[in-house]
Chains A and B, each alone.
Chain A
Amino acid sequence: MPIGDLAPEIALLVGAVVIVLFASFAPQERQAWAGGLALITLALAAGFSLMQWREPPALTFSGVWALDTAAVATKLLVLLVGAVAVLLSPDWMRSDRRHGEYYALCLFTLLGVIMMASANDSMELVVGILLSSTASYPLVAYHRGFKPALEAAMKYFLIGALTNSLLVIGVVLLFGLVGDTDYARTAQVLATAPDAAPLALSVAVACIVLGLTFKLAAFPGHAWMPDVAQGAPVPVAALLTVAPKVGAAVALARFVSLLPESQVWPVIVALIAVVTMTLGNLAALKQTDVRRLLGWSSVSQSGYALMAVVVIDVEPQALGALLAFLAAYLFANLAAFAVVTHLRGRTALADYHGLGRTQPLVTAVLILALLSLVGIPPLVGFFGKFMLFKVTIAGGYTWLAVVAAINTVLSLFYYLRVIAVTMFKPLEGEVHVLGSWSWLALLASAVLLVAASLGAKGGLALMGAVRFAG
C-alpha cells in the first residue's frame, strides 16, 4: 500500500489524536498549547501536500483516492482556513474548560473535508462527508450554555442527518445500478449503457446531489448556514462557512462529470445555482445581524460557485475558475470573520455604528473583505467572479452570468449597509477587542487578502493548471 500518498491526511489524523491525548492530561492553563500543536500539524500537512503538487495526476489505493492538482489545491486551501481558524481560537476559548479538545475536532473536520475533495469513490465520499459532519456538530454547540448555539447545532444536526441519509441511499442505489462504487468504473458503465434505468439513476443522482448541497450550503440543504454563522463560536463559523464549501464543490464537480448527458445535470445544477444565489441574497437584504448576514452571503456565494460546476464538462478552464473563486471567497470571508472575532463576536448591525472612528484598521479590513465579496476590482473577489463569468459565458450559459450579475448588484446593497454604518454613523458606546492572538489572526487574514489581490495574476495562472485525474 502506497502509504506515502496519504502523508497529509495521516499527519492530520496523528495530530488530532495527539491533541486529544494532550488535552486529557494537561492542566487547564496549558490547554491553549493544543492550539500550537494544531498549527504544527497543519503546517506539516501543508508541507506534505505541497510535495504532491508537482507529481502527475494519479489515482491511488486501487483508484479510490485521487492525487491530482484539484485535490492538492483543495487541501492547501482547506489547511489554510484551518490555520486561520485555529489562530482565532485561543483568545475566544480561553475560559472554556474543554479548550484542548476543540482543536482536535477542528482537525477532524478538516480531514473530512479533504476526504470529500479527494474521494474518487462514492463510499469514500460518504465517509468524508460523515466525518466532516460529525466532527463539526459538537463544534457548533461548543458553548452549551448559549441558547442560539444549541439551536444552531440542532438545526445543523437535523438537516445533516436527513441529507446524509439521503446521500447514503443515493450511493447505495448507484452501487446497485453500476455494480461498483469506483468513479472510473461508474463512468465507464454509465457511458456504455446510459439509459439502462433512467429513473433509478435520476433518483440516485438527486440523492447524492442533495447530500452535497448540505455541505455546500446550497439550496435545498442551506438552512443551517445562517444559524450556524450567527450562533456558533465565531472561529467555528469562520471554519464552517468556508471549508466544507470548498470540499463539497470539488466533490460535486468530480461527481457530475461522470454522468451521462441524458441526466441533463447542467440544467439542474444551473437551476440550483440560480435559486441558491437569489435566495441567499434576498434573505441577506433585511438582516440586522452581521453574523447572520455573513451566513446568508455564504449561501449566495455557493450559488455563484455552482456556475463553474455547470460548465465543468464543456469548459477546460471551469475547474480552475471554480477553485479561483472559492479561494477568493475564502480569503475575504476569513478576513470578515476575523474582524468579527476580534471585536468579541459583536453581531448586531447597530453595534457597528461609527466603528471607523475608533478602530480604523479593523474597519479597513472589514471594508476590504466585504468589497472583495461583492467583487469590486482589484480585490481578489473580482478575479474570482471574473473567471466564473468568463467560463460561464464561454460555456454557453450567458443567461446564468446575467442572473449572477443581477444578484451581485443585490448583494452590494447589504454589504454596503454594513460599510456605511461603520463609516458614516456616529460612534455609540465603547469598542472592546479580544486579544493579541485574534489580532494576529486578523492581521494574517488581511495580509492574505491583500496579497491574494495583488498576486491574483499568479494565482490565476496556478489555477489554470488544475486538473482532475483519470
Chain B
Amino acid sequence: MILTVAWIVPLLGAVALAAFPRWSEGRARLWAAAVAALSLLALVVAWVGFDPAGPLFQHVEELRWVPSIGLAYRVGVDGIALAVATMSALIFVAAIAYPVDTLGQPRQYYAWMLFLQAMSLGVFLVLDLLLFYVFFDLTLVGMFFLIGRWGHGTPQVSALKFFLYTFAGSLLLLLAIIGLYLSIEPHSFDMRVLIERQPLAGTGLYAGLVFLALMLGFAIKTPLVPLHTWLPQAHVDAPGPASAILAGVLLKMGTYGMIRLPFAMMQETFAKYSLVVGIVALVAILYGALVALGQGNLKRRIAYTSINHMGYTVLGIAVASAIFADNQAARQLALTGATVEMVAHGLITGALFLICGSFWQRTGDYELDHYGGLAHRAPLLTGFTVLAAFASLGMPGLAGFVAEFQVFAGTFAVYPWLAVLGVLGILITAALFLGLLRRLFFGRLPSHLGGFGDLKWAEWGVLGVLSLGILVIGVAPQFLLTLIDASSALLVGGR
C-alpha cells in the first residue's frame, strides 16, 4: 500500500493543480512541495519497514489485471530500488521548493513537476515489465514539456531532440521487453518470475539480441559514450530544477534498468559481455571527464561530469556481473558501490544544477569566463558550490568517495587494469572542478557582477538539506549500505 501511495499522491496533486485555475504562484508552489514531501515521507516509512534480512522484494502488492496476457499491477522494492526512489523523491522536493521563474504559468509548471515525480517513482517501484515501460516513457513526456516551455536558449529544439533521441532508446527497450515476455511460458511480465527463472539462459543469439537491445536502450538513457549526445544540449537549455531532475533522477533510470533487467534477468548473458560493458564504461569515464575539462560553459561542464559519474556506476554493474570471477565479495562490493554512486550522484549533481539555476536567475549567463571573484559577494553560494564540487570529485568524508571507493575496490579485484585506468577519471574530475571553482569564485570581480546577490533563504535551505545528505552519506553511510547490501548480496548470489 505504502508504495502505491508514494507514486499516486504526486499524480493526484498534479491533477488538483490542473483543476484549480485560481491558485496563485505561492500557493501552487506550497501545494506542490507539500505533496512531493508527502510522497517522500511514504518512501521513508517504506524504508523503515524494510527488513534487510528478508526476501529480495518487499512491500509487494499485486492486483490482477489481465491474467490472459500475464499483465498485473505489481509494485515492490528491493534495497536498490528503495534507495534510488527515496533519493529521487528528495530531489523532487528540492527541485520543487527551489525558487524559479515560472514565466507566468506556475500551475502548469508545478503540475508537470508532480506528474514527472509520479512517473519517475513509478519506474523504480513497479515489478511489472510493461508498467515499467509505461512509466519509463511517460517521464519523457513530462520532461519534454518542462524543457520546451520553461527552458531557455533554444528550448524547443532541445526538447525535441531529447524526446526523439531517448524515445528511440525506449523503443529498443520495448522490443527487448517483448522478447523477454515471449521467452517464458506462460508469457508473463512479472519481473520476479523472470528473475527467478532466467528464461534466456543459454539461448545464444536470441539472448544476445535481447541483451543488446536492452543495453542500447539503457545506454542512451544513462547515457554512455557514444550515445550521450542528447544530454549536454538538454541540460543547458532546461530550467535549473528540471536539469537537477534530469541528472539526478532520469539518468538513474538507465542504470537502475540495467540492474533490474539485464543484470538480474539475464545473468549468464551479461557475464559473457561484462568486459565489453566495462570497457564502454571506462571510455565514458575518461571521455566524459576530458570533455568536461574543455567546457567553458558552467552547465555544460557539469552535464559532462554526469557522463563521467554514470560511467562509474556502469563499471560497477559490469564488474558485479562477472560471475566467472568467483570473487563474490568483490562483485557485491561493486554492485553496492554502483548503487551508492547513483544516490550520491543524484544528490551532488542535483545540488550543482540547482546552483546553476541560481546563477541563471541572477545573470542569465553560464559562461565561466564572465564570472570571477564571487567568494566575497556570495559566501553562501561559494560554500555550497565548494562542498558539492568536492563531493563530486571524490573527496573522502563526502558521499562521492564512499561510492567510488567501493566501485574501484570491486573492480580492482576483477579487472585490475580497468580500475587503474578508471582512477585517471577521478584525477581529471578533480582538475576540472578546481578550475571551475577558481574561475567562478576567485580572482577579480568583473564590474557587471557588482550587484550579484547571495543565496536567498529558500535557496540555501534546499541546498542545505541536499548538502546534509551528502555529508551524512560520506561520514556515516551505514544506514544506506545495510539497505543496499541486503539486496546486492541476494542479486550476486551471496546469501
Contacts and interface: CB of A to CB of B under 8 A. Distances in A.
B138 A405 contact: no
B182 A390 contact: yes
Interface in A364-418: 371, 376-378, 382, 386, 389-390, 393-394, 398, 401-402, 405-406, 408-409, 412-413, 416-417
9 contacts: A371-B141, A377-B137, A409-B168, A413-B160, A416-B163, A417-B160, A423-B145, A423-B148, A423-B149
A464 interface: yes
B145 A402 contact: no
A460 B209 CA distance: 28
Interface stretch (B66-74, B280-288, B306-314, B435-443): B66-74
A412 B172 contact: no
Contacts of A394: 182
B99 interface: no
A405 B148 contact: no
Given A371-B141, A412-B164, A424 B175 contact: no
A416 B161 CA distance: 10
B149 A424 contact: yes
The B contact surface, by secondary structure, is helix
B176 to A, nearest CB: 10
Contacts of A420: 148, 156, 159-160
Interface of B: 65-66, 68-69, 71, 130, 133-134, 137-138, 141, 144-145, 148-149, 155-156, 159-160, 163-164, 167-168, 171-172, 174-175, 178-179, 181-182, 209
A416 B68 contact: no
The list of the 9 closest CB pairs from A to B, nearest first, reads: A377-B134, A405-B171, A457-B66, A409-B168, A424-B148, A378-B134, A424-B156, A390-B178, A420-B156
A352 B178 CA distance: 37
A268 interface: no
B66 to A, nearest CB: 4
Given A420-B156, A424-B149, A424-B155, A409 B144 contact: no
Nearest to B206: A398
B167 A412 contact: yes
Given A377-B134, A424-B155, A416 B144 contact: yes
B138 A377 contact: yes
A441 B138 CA distance: 28
Say which size band chain A's interface belongs to: 20 to 34
A393 B168 CA distance: 18
Task: Among B65, B164, B167, find the residue whose CB has the most chain A CB atoms closer than 10 A.
Answer: B167
A420 B69 CA distance: 36
Nearest to A410: B164
A402 B216 CA distance: 13
A464 B137 CA distance: 26
B174 A386 contact: yes
Interface string A181-196: 0000000000000000
Contact of B175 (A378, A402, A417): A402
Nearest to B68: A461
A402 B172 CA distance: 8
Contacts of A412: 163-164, 167
Contact of A457 (B65, B138, B144, B172): B65
Given A389-B178, A412-B163, A464 B168 contact: no
A460 B164 contact: no
A406 B213 CA distance: 13
B55 to A, nearest CB: 29
B438 to A, nearest CB: 38
Contacts of B160: 413, 416-417, 420
A389 B69 CA distance: 14
Interface string A75-102: 0000000000000000000000000000
A376 B175 contact: no
Contacts of A457: 65-66, 71
Given A405-B174, A461-B66, A416 B182 contact: no
Nearest to B160: A416
Given A376-B138, A390-B181, A420-B148, A409 B164 contact: yes
Contacts of B69: 460
A27 B375 CA distance: 84
Contacts of B66: 457, 460-461
Interface in A336-378: 371, 376-378
B464 to A, nearest CB: 34
A199 B342 CA distance: 64
Nearest to A317: B69
Contacts of A409: 164, 167-168, 171
Contacts of B137: 376-377, 382
A173 B175 CA distance: 41
Task: Among A409, A417, A464, find the residue whose CB has the most chain B CB atoms closer than 10 A.
Answer: A409
B148 A393 contact: no
Contacts of A398: 175, 209
Contacts of A377: 133-134, 137-138
Task: Among B65, B68, B130, B163, find the residue whose CB has the most chain A CB atoms closer than 10 A.
Answer: B163
A278 B168 CA distance: 16
Given A406-B171, A423-B145, 11 more contacts: A376-B141, A382-B137, A390-B182, A393-B175, A401-B175, A406-B168, A408-B167, A416-B163, A420-B148, A457-B65, A460-B66
A394 B187 CA distance: 11
Contacts of A423: 145, 148-149
Contacts of A406: 168, 171
B181 to A, nearest CB: 7
A300 B186 CA distance: 33
Contacts of B168: 406, 409
B310 to A, nearest CB: 23
A356 to B, nearest CB: 9
B164 A416 contact: yes
B175 A389 contact: yes
Contacts of B155: 424
A370 to B, nearest CB: 11
A378 to B, nearest CB: 5
A424 to B, nearest CB: 5
A281 B405 CA distance: 49
A434 B188 CA distance: 48
B141 A405 contact: no
A429 B163 CA distance: 29
Contacts of B156: 420, 424
A413 B162 CA distance: 11
A405 B172 contact: yes
Nearest to A378: B134
A413 B164 CA distance: 7
A408 B171 contact: yes
Contacts of A386: 130, 174, 178
A402 B182 CA distance: 16
A423 B141 CA distance: 13
B68 A464 contact: yes
Interface in A250-294: none
A417 B138 CA distance: 18
Contacts of B71: 457
A184 B112 CA distance: 56
B69 to A, nearest CB: 7
Nearest to A417: B160
A457 B167 CA distance: 24
A251 B165 CA distance: 37
A416 B164 CA distance: 9
A25 B297 CA distance: 76
Contacts of B171: 405-406, 408-409
Contacts of B164: 409, 412-413, 416
A398 B71 CA distance: 22
A127 B295 CA distance: 69
Contacts of B209: 398
A413 B157 CA distance: 11
A256 to B, nearest CB: 24
